[in-house]
Amino acid sequence: MQRNFQGTDRGKRVVTTGGSAVGTIVRVDGERARVLLDPERVDSERVDPTGDEGDRSMLTIDRRAVDHSTNEVVRLDADEDPTSERRIA
């Protein structure tokens, strides 16, 4: 994506190149955005039951991982699968 994330990006759906839903943008901070994962994307095998709920269901995406954005959707680059390697902001 050519620009930084903006307040107007909150609420947009994040999808992969193939159209699979990842989650919804809930927070933006310049070059990064926090995404609330869809329930089916949360890996219960890797969840620490004593951990913070936010760590289980959120991930951070960088604007360089975005192919393009519309009024409703942020589509990730073909090489990006944000759930394969979870990052904490």
The answer to whether residue 2 sits within a structural domain is no
d(CA 14, CA 12): 6
Strand partners, 23: 14, 37
| Number of independent structural domains in the chain | 1
Q: Is residue 83 part of a domain?
A: no
pLDDT at residue 42 greater than cutoff 80? no
Domain enclosing residue 16, as ranges:
7-76
Question: Is residue 54 a contact partner of residue 79, using CB atoms and an 8 Å limit?
Answer: no
The whole-model pTM stands at: 0.77
Residue 82 lies in a domain: no
Quick: pLDDT tens for 7-31. Answer: 999 999 999 988 889 999 999 999 9
Task: Please indicate, yes or no, if residue 41 is contained in any of the structural domains.
Answer: yes
Mean pLDDT of the chain: 81
**Residue 81, pLDDT score:** 67
- CATH assignment at residue 59: 2.30.30.240
Q: Which residue has the tokens 């995406």?
A: 61
pLDDT for 87: 46
pLDDT at 2: 82
